Amino acid sequence: MPVSEEQLAADLSLMRGVAQSDPRALEKLYDRFGSLVYRMAYQILPSRDEAEDAVQEVFIRLWRTAGRYDSARAALVTWVMLITRRYLVDRLRRGRAGVRAVAIDDRAADIAQAQPNAQQRAERDERFATLMRRVDQLPALQRAVVTRAYLNGQTLRQIGEELNAPLGTIKSALSRALVRLREIDPVLEGTPA
């Protein structure tokens, strides 16, 4: 089940407020997605300080691009995650470029050449965007469980507590969601259930 029309309208209104630098809209956006962005950054970056810096940079990007948000193309959580992911990938690339610049042995050069090329990265980004659109089409509980488990990094027990649902219900929702996603995209066959 896709995001409700009311939620899409609320998200669009929120992003319009962010685009106009409305402090309440910015605060609401941060309250809603700050911990999600931080968790994703902290999983990828080596320190809390760097993760905190990443959160600030992502929210600056969200503010600067708020006027381009289109609720018809993606749910707000999807859009926030795509911007976060792009920022983190860019940051990792910059870090690798610095490492490559000082690399002096052949092994380091071989590792640098093994990095995916621009076309592979673009294909991976497109697959991720497609997957997120498919996640948006899941029934509400399944979408919430998948998003919280795979994007927020929460345990099933944490999700059950937040949604006030039994652990068995959460496990079943995740299992059904993964089955549906695998039916849509056989590439997900290796996804752990």
Domain boundaries, the chain: 5-118, 138-193
Count of CB atoms situated within 10 Å of the CB of 183: 9
In this structure, CATH architecture of domain 138-193: Orthogonal Bundle (1.10)
Q: How many helices (H) and strands (E) does the chain have?
A: 9, 0
This model's pTM is above 0.75: no
> In Å, what is the CA distance from 48 to each residue of 23, 32, 55, 74, 158?
26, 20, 10, 29, 22
pLDDT (tens, 9 = 90+) of the chain, 193 residues, equals: 456 788 888 888 999 998 898 889 989 998 888 888 898 888 888 788 888 889 899 999 999 988 898 888 888 888 898 899 888 888 887 765 444 444 444 444 444 445 556 777 777 777 777 778 888 888 888 888 888 877 777 788 888 888 898 888 888 888 888 888 777 655 444 444 3
Top CATH class of 5-118 equals mainly alpha
Residue 31 · residue 14 · CB < 8 Å: no
36 three-state secondary structure: helix
Length of the chain: 193
Q: What is the dihedral of CA 68, 184, 180, 72, to 10 degrees?
A: 20
* 134 closest CA partner among 180, 189, 84, 190: 180
